[in-house]
A and B are shown apart, each in its own frame.
Chain A
């Protein structure tokens, strides 16, 4: 508000040769007002005096032109012969209007070209980044797929787990070689996924241990290593029995037994084994030992032998 008042009052003052306009006011950029003024003057002059080296026949005349421009600038900045300088500018302006306009166009074109180039470079950078990200994503997916494949194979195939892992590792190495050429040896180590790496180590340790002196040849596998009598010479197990108790279970109208996998023949087998298991024990055997029971009378398991058989 006060600025408007100031302008209104000042513009009526006869002291000022220059007309003040609100539009011409600008925020101060430099602390030194002299610098501020110089920048303003040079900005104005640059619009008019925009001739280039190409516009002159020789260097001398170009230097003369530059000196003249500097002269005008100096005069305007330091308020020397302002009136005269302004007329110089006006005559120059009139004489070189065509060339000035042409140069202005040229400059604009140049600026535009610069801008376009910048834009192009930025786009290229973005594209490169996107491509890289995509490649990484692909690689990640590939790796994940591979791992899944190994797990699937381990689940379903009948092959040896080591063979499966080794095979897929070989595939992975081949793929890596085609993707990134030969200059990426650390990629393999980075790919050492989960138990794959462990297995590699394991295979190595196996081969070394085989060469070593402490190699033990395989023994035949013994499925059962306890002393077990199954009583199966004492009974013959039949396919089915006329069993009243389990009749409902066998018919299983609602299917609830079948759903849970209950097996009637397990119950029959149990009944049979229980029936025959004690047949070879003589009744009343061993009673004599028990008659004199003392705290020290223990069997091999440390149980006190009670007066029952």
Chain B
């Protein structure tokens, strides 16, 4: 047994698999525990062998970025080890996710709850963007809620670092309902603004308790977006007609964005205090400066929202996931 194998065996011994909690296309998730401390964890066993090229891309992406990112609002990768031919990722265990909470009609959201969740999402996302990582799959299902009310961004299976100038990225990312129009139009060069769009959709969903822009196909998604927010014109969105899949759906709708959204330079911190402008972030608005202003705008008490989040009953969900 060489040093690597011994090291791996030591790692493996630290974690105990307990119960299967879910199965995805490329991984099986178990609930587990750390032997030494009794701390709960989730063990994601990556299925190897069904892919010709070895490991699945998303597993590699997940390890690659989670090894680097340590933040209060980003899920923590505790350990990685291999067993036989499988790769195992040991992740923090979180009881619930925002999708479950949105769907549970018995829970009433206070404005403070939503503000707190949005603030935590933005903190986590800002941390990713600060480290030049695009998440590219933000949706309520991927925002996990810990039993103490903390929100953590999870599932970095589609994440990548910012592309160097002139390098293409794929546009087939982000779950459709949360996908921004530039990706639907097939743009291969985009920025951190794509994640902000997703957060805007999540915000609207938290307010409405139902998905805000639910398209049935990629084209229908564009139609849905334009029906809700108006069809962009050449002035709103220069060079749009150069997009790869460019085809403007009919009928067109007049813009419903507040005038202020069209002139990002005139926006100030006071103006973004309102709730709704977040959902109306158009492309071309500088995502980063927008995000910073968002984070510096005043918010309601978080500890209050946390105390409410703690009241959510997680014990039920933990036993029967």
Contacts and interface: CB of A to CB of B under 8 A. Distances in A.
Given A259-B239, A259-B243, A219 B303 contact: yes
Interface string B285-315: 0111000000111111111100100000000
B238 A258 contact: yes
B10 A259 contact: no
B241 to A, nearest CB: 8
Contacts of A302: 78-79
Interface stretch (B23-31, B49-57, B161-169): B161-169
B276 A260 contact: no
Given A205-B108, A216-B307, A263-B191, A158 B276 contact: yes
Contact of A261 (B6, B193, B276, B303): B193
B52 to A, nearest CB: 31
Given A195-B208, A259-B242, A261-B193, A154 B307 contact: no
B165 A264 contact: yes
Contacts of B288: 266
A260 B127 contact: no
A152 to B, nearest CB: 7
Contacts of B160: none
B182 A259 contact: yes
Interface residues of A, number: 56
B109 to A, nearest CB: 8
B242 A295 contact: no
B163 to A, nearest CB: 8
Interface string B147-168: 0000000000000001111100
Contacts of A228: 127, 130
B116 to A, nearest CB: 10
Nearest to B182: A260
A160 interface: yes
A225 B79 contact: no
B280 A155 contact: yes
A246 B166 contact: yes
Nearest to A228: B130
A53 interface: no
B216 interface: no
B131 to A, nearest CB: 9
Contacts of B256: 152, 155-156
A256 B189 contact: yes
A1 B147 CA distance: 95
Contacts of B6: 295
A263 B286 contact: yes
Contacts of B276: 154-158, 161
Given A226-B123, A264-B165, A295-B7, A257 B72 contact: no
Instruction: Give the size range of B's interface with the partner.
Output: 35 or more
A232 to B, nearest CB: 11
A162 B109 CA distance: 12
Contacts of A223: 119, 123, 295-296
> Max chain A CB contacts within 10 Å: which of B10, B182, B187?
B187
Nearest to A195: B209
A224 B123 contact: yes
A219 B119 CA distance: 14
Contacts of B307: 216
A170 B258 CA distance: 25
Contacts of B242: 254-256, 258-259
Given A221-B298, A225-B123, A270 B162 contact: yes
Nearest to A257: B189
B271 A158 contact: yes
B37 to A, nearest CB: 11
A266 B192 contact: yes
Nearest to B274: A158
> Max chain A CB contacts within 10 Å: which of B185, B276, B303, B304?
B276
B70 A261 contact: no
A178 interface: no
Contacts of B257: 156
A226 B127 contact: yes
A245 interface: yes
Nearest to B246: A259
A304 B7 contact: yes
Contacts of B191: 260-263, 266
6 contacts: A154-B275, A202-B109, A226-B72, A228-B127, A256-B187, A270-B162
Q: Which 8 A-B pairs have the closest CB atoms?
A: A260-B187, A255-B239, A246-B165, A221-B299, A223-B295, A158-B274, A262-B189, A255-B242
Given A230-B130, A258-B239, A302-B78, 17 more contacts: A151-B208, A154-B208, A156-B258, A158-B274, A202-B109, A205-B108, A218-B300, A221-B298, A226-B71, A245-B164, A259-B242, A260-B188, A260-B190, A262-B165, A263-B286, A295-B6, A304-B7
Interface of B: 6-7, 10, 70-72, 78-79, 108-111, 119, 123, 126-127, 130, 132, 162-166, 182, 185, 187-194, 204, 207-209, 228-229, 237-244, 256-258, 271, 274-277, 279-280, 283-284, 286-288, 295-304, 307
